[in-house]
Structure 1
Amino acid sequence: MKTNRRVTSHQVIRHTGAGASQGSSVAQRMDGISTGAGTSRGNYRSGSCGGSSSPALRRGPKSLRHCALSASLDFMRRYGVISVATFVVVASALVGGLLGRQALAVGARQQDYRAFTAALAAVEANYVNKVESSRLVYGAIEGMLQTLDPHSSFMDPAVYKRMRERQEGRYYGLGITILPVDGDITVVSLFEGSPAYKKGIRRGDIIARIAGEDAKGMASDEAVKRLRGPKGTTIQISLKRPGYDQLIEVEVPRDEINIPTIPAYFMTDRETGYVRLQDFAENTDRDLGLALGDLGGKGMKRLVLDLRGNPGGPLDQAIRVTNRFLPRGSLIVYTRGRVPNSDQNYSATEASEYTQLPLVVLINRNSASASEIVSGALQDHDRAFLVGETTFGKALVQSVYRISEGAGLALTTARYYTPSDRLIQRPWDGTFDEYLTYTLRDQSAPKERSAADVRHTDAGRKVYSGGGIEPDRRLDGPVEGFNPTKFGRLLYNRQLFSGYAERYVAEGDTRITPRPDQKKVSRGFAVDEAVLADFKEYVRSQKVKVDDEAFATDADFMRAMIHYDIDLALFGVSEARRNLVSRDPQAQLALQMFPEAERLAELRRAKVASRQGGR
């Protein structure tokens, strides 16, 4: 397995994936996992919708940065199949001796440089308002990259730092996930064993003050910035807890927080394991190995691997994950580009005990890059049966260059191909808006395909190049396996299910001694008609006009989401995800597809035997 090493000077780390757009107004639930310093990934949003807003995302029209497409923008610009290259870019003087066409080319380039510096000087000297030169230069870089492709992007120092933390799967902070609820910075989950957990902070606590400053109405990004800091330093926070008259003062030390990319795994029955792989980072393969080992000890004989909503991550992790399910020597992916060393073939090089394990993989329109490498390789080798929706379609590799003062440049330097020679990248010959919103479209109609698109798996099945990885069995369900109406997606994006769950539970954990402010909720509770009616009133209280027809249509979806968020509040990620899987239409279909997965395995074995017999 050929992989690149960790980042050092003058070195490229290939990364596949987070540059994929979520491409949907549907925010992806991330099981309450923090994006670094505490901004919520419970529902991936940006800007005025309550999550982080990256300067690198600000190329699109202003309207796209609002709630409906904020998730798309944030997902879109997050650094794709990346190679994080810590190159320092410097201007070099051109010294004599250049003749002919080379001299002309250099002269033309110098004229372009002079035009830029002249424009910069004119703006700095004459614009009606004083403008910082860094803002102008950063804007010029963003404009330049916009002419290339949707995934090349500029990262200011803050965004670059967050990208590296995401890649490494760790950050320094308190170990909490926060979410704005009715203008309050609310703790929606904690990492067990984290500094916040040890100090007694609880889900449902409202952060009223941070280091003495009022946090009411504070943007999530600003709260995150204040809560994070160097390891070993402390932060004073004041908590408002229902049932308590006084604020609770607590001083919390900051520490290294590891962000799990596998928030949940469990047995769905005596023989079937389930793994939720929601992201790729440097710890993913290790975490997957631990999960598979634990499930194997519980009797796992078959596996559902859930890659829905997974935006991707480091290329080497995609290769290592795939290697666990393919025989040694199997091609996993190859890359082709213009720069030296961009042409690489990556194959399975390590023996694995899971190469015969019956496997069903869940994908959807928000599965991108690294998750497309995994699902594409497994499909091409007839190793897994794919269920869900066509994936996003991102097959570009970015290299991230550190250019100055901690800023980064994510530049597309290669394309990747699946083992059957599929380039699954979607075209971007339309507008940036069209590329972002592509996955909002109805996927139920079959795509028109030409003979040139056809490729074949090891067993001879037809698969298609371009426009993502198509599942072997389609079932639309972009939101946790459901396909809600526009109204249902609005409620999901506005975080109203999470907000209602906070109110319903009121605060606390029923496993702790109950308090007067705490509502008792048993594990067997049901979201009945009374709860739905109460939720409808809560929606109205949030100044959202209720569409009664859509509300009735989305009843099952709403029950599942309310149940999930209450489960998450009371019983943790694993139990919440386990209960959601039991209601999730796509997951339930996946559990029925193991006979198909086993049939594929037989086809593949027969094909291999036939080839060997013909030698």
Structure 2
Amino acid sequence: MNIFADETPPSRQADVPARSWWVRWRQPLLLAGALTCGVLIGANPFRPSDQNPDATARGYLKFKEILSYVDRDYVDTVNAEELSDYAIQRLLEKLDPHSVYIPAREQQQAAAFLQSDYDGVGVEFNLFRDTVTVVSPLSGGPAEQAGVLPGDRILAIDGQNVSGAHFTNDQIFGKLRGPRGSSARLLIWRRGQARPLSFSMTRNRIPNASVDVAYMLDSQTGYIKISRFAAGTFDEFKEALGRLSRGGMQQLVLDLRGNPGGYLDRATKLADEFIGGTRKIVYTDGKGDQYDSQTFSRVAGEFEEGPLVVLVDEGSASASEVVAGALQDHDRALLVGRRTFGKGLVQQPITLNDGSELRLTIARYHTPSGRCIQKSYRNGVASYDKDLQERYKRGEAFHADSIHFAENLRFRTDHGRTVYGGGGIMPDVFVPRDTLAQNRYLTRLQGLNLVREFALQLYQQHREELQEITQEQFQRVFQVSDAQLQALANRAAQDGVAQDPPSLRRCAAVLRTQLKAHVARSAYGKEAFYAVWREQDAELQQAIKALQDGSTKLALGEAAK
């Protein structure tokens, strides 16, 4: 079986908008299966229930009869197909939050998130006030080869004006992508140029990486960040792990924060690289035994011995939780961060006759110790969707003692440590959210994309200087001044964000780091971004501290004595 946790809106892939810093939990594609988990077994014809076929048949006939009456006799003209789609969605909400129906028109977009590549021009973009702005051209892609630069503003695509035309992200996404070998023409405004520039390029296959970055934090500590478990994730991970090992890596930080899941077999293969012997990684339990399964480690992995820290947070879900739970249950890794999302339901995708898809919950998955990490949904979908907000209100993001687990859901790891089921994976080391990053003023700046936009302006202003220095020199000498922060505040005021000097002072350190990191990304690439961002990354700093002082060995080995 091939199990997967479905897609959220595309994030760090090219020819789509650059991802904001905050996890967007409830967007339209969530109805297409965000944060779900399923079994890819292909089409499945309709079968009446073996348990109660008469009730199933009566319900089907009743719905058909009502829809026929509405279509024929209702006072206004209606779209019967839209009504049936709506009814199906409401029906599934009565079951659980992750059984979903995906209309045929959304199926291709829903599937794109887990693809390992696509055809397009290869640019990451953002919409700043109805202007398509290039955040970064993908390395080796058609746009980069044609000479497109970060900060360029796309005025027209294939002769059609897209600047100030109120296009949506998805519409721009569709215009930049196209069949491999097709031509694309971009009309671009570039700072310092008297007139727009025209670029012609041929669309090509673009890698859609899910390993965001892999580099050495120091001479012996590797860092790998995985944004989702897509088709090519395991291969990307193996390449990154091998490269870091050859570079002298002795210990590793695996970052699964904000990872909503993906193909579960890629996740279990990744976990197998860390777990020695033949030990259980995950098992599923459904109605009867049709959908019961067990997955064990089976290969000699490349990193079964070295110290390992896994970073998780409330954005880590589904397949990410399977990896984190398995490594914690086997005392293989120290988990650092905050309680994970709590998604432990398995869906079966069923292709319907019109090309739409039903993803129906058919099992729950459990960690090796027996934990079911699916959080409660007994109060309905609306309450379920507000769970993360409620966690913040209860103080869970800031105080570990605000998190309570039922005593009857207590489990033991291989070495006897206590862990809990019933709602996500609780890390071994809790790290609260930075209260400065929760500043309302900062949140508004980020929500309007003003931080990214201003960073691109800084990059453009200093492009020639940045070309003359190395990334290491940049990290030492580049500083965001008070005057530049005030310029950002002035720019924000023009967009309706009122001046707030006290709030600006409180979040100044975070803002400086964010701006510097985005400038580094434009000038030197993703690795440079993360190298700067680590200065304000509390979870990563805690992980490094645990590796340096031997906390990983102490925490994971103490219970065995």
Out of 142, 147, 169, the residue aligned to residue 195 of structure 1 is 142
Aligned to 1:377: 326
Out of 8, 18, 24, the residue aligned to residue 40 of structure 1 is 18
Aligned to 2:497: 544
Residue 418 of structure 2 is aligned to residue 418 of structure 1: no
CA distance in 2, matches of 1:203, 1:212: 21
Q: Check conservation: 2:154, 2:187, Cα contact below 8 A.
A: yes
Q: How many residues align?
A: 545
Out of 350, 364, 374, the residue aligned to residue 299 of structure 2 is 350
Residue 346 of structure 1 and its aligned partner are, at CA, apart by: 0.6
Aligned to 1:533: 486
Residue 167 of structure 1 and its aligned partner are, at CA, apart by: 1.9
CA distance in 2, matches of 1:235, 1:136: 39
Indicate how the Cα distance of structure 1 residues 297 and 55 shifts in structure 2: closer, same or farther if over 3 A, else same.
closer
Out of 501, 509, 514, the residue aligned to residue 556 of structure 1 is 509
Equivalent runs, 1:81-480 vs 2, <5 Å: 81-90=37-46, 105-127=52-74, 129-216=76-163, 217-338=166-287, 341-440=290-389, 441=392, 442-443=395-396, 444=399, 445-477=401-433
Runs of 5+ consecutive residues of structure 1 not aligned to the other structure: 5-12, 23-27, 58-73, 95-100, 515-520, 608-615
CA distance in 2, matches of 1:246, 1:405: 49
Deviations 1:355-407 (A, max 9, x none): 11101111111111111111111111111111111111111112222213332
Q: Check conservation: 1:53, 1:221, Cα contact below 8 A.
A: no
Deviations 1:429-472 (A, max 9, x none): 22423322222322124323332011111111111111111111
Indicate how the Cα distance of structure 1 residues 578 and 155 shifts in structure 2: closer, same or farther if over 3 A, else same.
same
CA distance in 1, matches of 2:184, 2:356: 27
Residue 538 of structure 2 is aligned to residue 589 of structure 1: no
CA distance in 2, matches of 1:340, 1:154: 25
Instruction: Name the structure, 1 or 2, with higher relative contact order (CA <8 Å, separation 6+).
Output: 1
Aligned to 1:54: 28
What SS class does the counterpart of residue 263 from structure 1 fall into?
strand
Aligned to 1:25: none
Residue 171 of structure 1 and its aligned partner are, at CA, apart by: 1.7
| Identity over aligned pairs, percent | 29
Aligned to 2:533: 580
What SS class does the counterpart of residue 350 from structure 2 fall into?
strand
Residue 492 of structure 1 and its aligned partner are, at CA, apart by: 2.3
Residue 537 of structure 1 and its aligned partner are, at CA, apart by: 1.5
Aligned to 1:97: none
How large is the Cα RMSD of the aligned pairs? 2.8
Out of 437, 443, 447, the residue aligned to residue 493 of structure 1 is 447
Aligned to 1:610: none
What SS class does the counterpart of residue 536 from structure 1 fall into?
helix
Bigger drift between 306-315 and 160-169 goes to 160-169
Using the size of structure 2 for normalisation, the TM-score is: 0.90
CA distance in 1, matches of 2:458, 2:361: 47
Structure 1 counterpart of 2:3, which letter? R
Residue 121 of structure 1 and its aligned partner are, at CA, apart by: 2.1
Deviations 1:159-198 (A, max 9, x none): 3212322223222211111211122011112211112222
CA distance in 1, matches of 2:24, 2:553: 42
Deviations 1:196-254 (A, max 9, x none): 22222222121211222221221111111222222222233322222223322223322
CA distance in 2, matches of 1:147, 1:577: 42
CA distance in 1, matches of 2:40, 2:367: 22
Residue 500 of structure 1 and its aligned partner are, at CA, apart by: 1.4
Q: Check conservation: 2:121, 2:184, Cα contact below 8 A.
A: no
Indicate how the Cα distance of structure 1 residues 446 and 308 shifts in structure 2: closer, same or farther if over 3 A, else same.
same
Bigger drift between 248-257 and 127-136 goes to 127-136
What SS class does the counterpart of residue 505 from structure 1 fall into?
helix
CA distance in 2, matches of 1:255, 1:362: 35
Deviations 1:92-133 (A, max 9, x none): 8x9xxxxxx98xx54443332222122222332344553333
Indicate how the Cα distance of structure 1 residues 231 and 600 shifts in structure 2: closer, same or farther if over 3 A, else same.
same
Bigger drift between 234-243 and 316-325 goes to 234-243
Deviations 1:123-168 (A, max 9, x none): 3234455333332222222122111111111222343212322223
Residue 348 of structure 1 and its aligned partner are, at CA, apart by: 0.5
Indicate how the Cα distance of structure 1 residues 435 and 504 shifts in structure 2: closer, same or farther if over 3 A, else same.
same
Indicate how the Cα distance of structure 1 residues 419 and 210 shifts in structure 2: closer, same or farther if over 3 A, else same.
same
CA distance in 2, matches of 1:553, 1:326: 44
Residue 458 of structure 2 is aligned to residue 504 of structure 1: yes
CA distance in 2, matches of 1:397, 1:469: 17
What SS class does the counterpart of residue 303 from structure 1 fall into?
strand
Indicate how the Cα distance of structure 1 residues 346 and 513 shifts in structure 2: closer, same or farther if over 3 A, else same.
closer
Deviations 1:22-43 (A, max 9, x none): 9xxxxx9x6xx22x64233355
Residue 56 of structure 1 and its aligned partner are, at CA, apart by: 5.8
Using the size of structure 1 for normalisation, the TM-score is: 0.82
Indicate how the Cα distance of structure 1 residues 363 and 258 shifts in structure 2: closer, same or farther if over 3 A, else same.
same
Aligned to 1:599: 554
CA distance in 1, matches of 2:359, 2:407: 34
Structure 1 counterpart of 2:139, which letter? E
Q: Check conservation: 2:37, 2:346, Cα contact below 8 A.
A: yes
What SS class does the counterpart of residue 355 from structure 1 fall into?
coil
Deviations 1:39-94 (A, max 9, x none): 333557879xxxx963663xxxxxxxxxxxxxxxx9xx4252222342154588x9
Structure 2 counterpart of 1:124, which letter? D
CA distance in 1, matches of 2:208, 2:317: 20
Deviations 1:283-302 (A, max 9, x none): 11111111111111111111
Residue 42 of structure 2 is aligned to residue 14 of structure 1: no
Structure 1 counterpart of 2:360, which letter? L
What SS class does the counterpart of residue 275 from structure 1 fall into?
strand
Indicate how the Cα distance of structure 1 residues 236 and 353 shifts in structure 2: closer, same or farther if over 3 A, else same.
closer
Deviations 1:584-608 (A, max 9, x none): 111111100121112245447x56x
Q: Check conservation: 2:7, 2:114, Cα contact below 8 A.
A: no
Indicate how the Cα distance of structure 1 residues 329 and 509 shifts in structure 2: closer, same or farther if over 3 A, else same.
farther
Bigger drift between 172-181 and 545-554 goes to 545-554
What SS class does the counterpart of residue 587 from structure 1 fall into?
helix
CA distance in 2, matches of 1:56, 1:362: 24
